[in-house]
Structure 1
Amino acid sequence: MNAPSPTLQPAVAAQDDRLRICFPFSGDSIGGSHISVRGLMEHLDPALYRPVVVTEVPGGMIANFFAGHEQMDDPGAQRLFVPGEAFTARKFARTLTGVLPRARFLRRNRIDIVHVNDGRSSANWALAARLAGAKLIWHHRGDPGALGLRLLAPALAHRVLAVSSFALPPAGLWSARKRASVVHSPFDTTLEVDRSKAREALIRELGVPHDTLLLGYFGAFVPRKRPLLFVDMIARMGEISPRPVMGLMFGQARVPAMDIALRKRIAATGVEDRVKLMGYRTPGPFWIAACDRLVVPAVGEPFGRTLVEAMLVGTPIVAARSGGNVEALEGGIGLLVEPDDADALARACIEGSDADAMALRAQVNARARFSEAAHCAQVSAIYKALRP
């Protein structure tokens, strides 16, 4: 297990005129925001910037994910929030007990910018950043109707970064919209996977005929991503597909109730032999490449990483016409269907006759739009503008 790097020493910090940027993370599970931040940190100019990751769990999953980067422990860490729990006013009030320790921590280490990347971290660190005199970047990767974005960001954030136009703060009298800009998440655009070999490996594992249509769902099993709708789609495909079909669900339920509901839906629709729960697997792009289609039934998704990863590896995409899906697939580089329509999803998976040509166009598009270097250049310009 990799131990976090030691805390900055004031004597050393005083001799270091690089911009000190704090990336605090709440909880201890890995998601798209952690992948994006690590990609950003690896491209920041070390002569100009000193990024520091702050974790609630020393030696945990997040600490290990950022091994090799400077780390510190969260001085205000308390009981972790349970993934899937609603972030209520009571829970926000509990975060206030950590404000002063965190503010002192930021002043002591002379942090210039606090860059928060998820709702809980924003709630934990936004006020502390302002009290410490640090600039606050609120990186929003969720629903534009999120409580914190609507109520706290207008008062506390110096800049808001949104992963898509859909995720921008709503305009209004009390809004951070005028301080917001769209910065798409970064990806390794050099990514290459041999789809034929990946598919062959998956076919062998499943023990299914080679002409089976492999349809992949990737992501957490949460209501917004519509895992139950994916099961309904597979059931519908059993009625209309000329080929055998397998629905492969890569991911996990964040709460037991969803796991129970998913298994009940699989049994109720009679697709136990056609839907397989694959669990969480890495590297994700390999398994996306192994599928014949990436299916994204999610509604209100700000900007899904798996969409762009599918574009990069050349897997055709069928997605709901909702949220950031539309922005990611603009220009006809994926098939978009009406949201919450299992039949429409099923028919799109079958009827996409030019799917391979569309996937090739998507690959070229993604390499031009979503590079880590381009993302770093955008964010660095914002850091430079905020420099004290």
Structure 2
Amino acid sequence: MTPPVTPRRIAFLLPHFRTGGAERVVLHWIEALDPARWQPVLLLGRLDGDLLEHVPPYVTVAAIGGGRALRRPLRIARSLAAHRIDVAYSATSAMNLALLAAPTRVPRITSEHTPPDAFRRESKWPWLRRAATRLLTRRAAAVAVPTAAIGSVVRGAPVALVRNPVLRTAPPPLGDKPLHGTHLVAAGRLVPAKGFDTLIDAAALLAARGQPFTLAIHGDGPLRTTLQAQIDDLRLGDRVTLAGHAAHLAPLLAGADLMVSSSRREGFGNALIEAMALGTPVLAARAGGPETFIDEAANGFLVPPDDAPALADTIAALLANPARRLSVRAAARDTAARYTVAASVAEFTALLDGVLAATPGAAPRGQHRLNAKVTAPAP
């Protein structure tokens, strides 16, 4: 008789649990992991975030603690020991470094959601962060990435391609879209990487041409006051709205005639996949991630990043040509169908199994060690 398998305890480390791409990925995973095999533990720098209310009640949530960043690795090691963690996953670049610096033998999986060099260029002391990353990445059992493009520039550890878990179910059948609608929607944290200042400049160019449109930007963040001042200075208050955080984004995406992503840096673009699944055409800047799943004029549209005139020109052309804009909907839905929670969880659990099998003494309790490998994504 095969002995029962004790669930392995997996820690997910983040600074907080406010709405964001990495946070939603972790939430989808902990909701969908098989509780007979895995017991998630959510370790946060601080117990903060609107997504906390969605964490299943059987998931342990604990604070790593604040204070000086140099002490965080030791606090992480103590947390991993206190919660008897079998394998740990970190979901942000800063937490990656803290986890890898922690004095622990727990196998560690880090993640990169954007090209590492692009992120480091925007961070404080980029040379120091680059050196620390190169030194510490060799301690990772694996680095999880959502796209092969990001994986191709990761060095120092095995790379595992794990698609983002965006859709809980397969996309619904396509409904009708208005032929001559002019409502634009954008979504994301109000931070420099999202390029909403470029989008607002593009909106000003459209308004100057007399182009009919409205634009709602959903999300919140530190640039809210700055972006609102830009809207006011450009006299766009009757056209452009900072709509704040949306608890339910899907109906807002479904009601739009075009979704626009103006990011300067975007590792993937979960909201774009959501829009594509709902039949809303998408226009995205080539910011790293979107061009890995958007084929120009086949399932969506692409523009150069940080280029307000090009963005305005493309928006105007798509609004003026409804047939071209709507022609991508079926292919976009097919693309979105690849990014379900079930498909992502299957890849993530295969990664966990591979890491535990390759870690001496870490085979699942009650089972023989698995002959699994962590492999790099295909080019």
Task: Tell me if TM exceeds 0.5.
Answer: yes
- Residues 315-326 of structure 1 mapped to structure 2, 5 A cutoff: 315-326=280-291
Q: Residues 301 and 315 of structure 1: is their aligned pair in 2 closer, same or farther, counting only changes over 3 Å?
A: same
Aligned pairs (5 A) from 1:28-107: 28-58=17-47, 61-74=50-63, 76-79=64-67, 94-107=68-81
**From 287, 294, 299, the counterpart of 1:333:** 299
How far did 1:370 drift? 0.6
Q: 1:298 to 1:37 in 2, by over 3 A?
A: same
Aligned-partner Cα distance in 1 for 2:74–2:304:
48
Match of 2:162 among 183, 189, 206: 183
- Partners of 2:353 and 2:26 in 1: CA distance: 17
Residues 194-233 of structure 1 aligned to structure 2 (within 5 Å): 213-233=182-202
Residue 251 (1) aligns with residue 219 (2)? yes
Gaps of 5+ in 2: 121-128, 357-361, 363-379
Cα distance in 2 for partners of 1:60, 1:248 equals: 23
2:143 is matched with 160
Equivalent residues in 2 for 1:92-131 (5 A)? 94-128=68-102, 131=103
| Distance in 1, Cα, partners of 2:49 & 2:302 | 39
CA 1:347–1:28 in 2, change beyond 3 Å: closer, same or farther?
same
Counterpart residue identity of residue 329, structure 2: A
| CA contact 1:99–1:125 (8 Å) conserved in 2 | yes
**Separation in 2 of the partners of 1:60 and 1:282?**
12
CA drift at 1:95: 2.7
Code of the residue aligned with 2:113 in structure 1: it is R
Mean alpha-carbon deviation: is it higher for 146-155 or for 115-124?
Answer: 146-155
Distance 2:136 2:230 in 1: 39
Amino acid at match of 1:304: G
**1:57–1:260 CA distance, 2 compared to 1 (3 A):** closer
**Corresponding residue of 2:350:** 381
Identify unmatched segments of 5+ residues in structure 1.
1-14, 80-93, 200-209
| Structure showing greater relative contact order (alpha-carbon pairs closer than 8 Å, 6 or more residues apart) | 2
Q: TM-score, normalised by structure 1?
A: 0.78
Distance in 1 (CA, whole Å) between partners of 2:133 and 2:353 is: 26
- Correspondence 1:296 to 2:261: yes
Letter in 1 for 2:27: R
- Is 2:231 aligned against 1:266? yes
* Per-residue deviation, 1:168: 2.8
Partner letter of residue 140 of structure 1?
E
Identity of aligned residues (%): 25
| Secondary structure of the corresponding residue to residue 322 of structure 1 | coil
Q: 1:56 to 1:71 in 2, by over 3 A?
A: farther
Aligned residues: 337
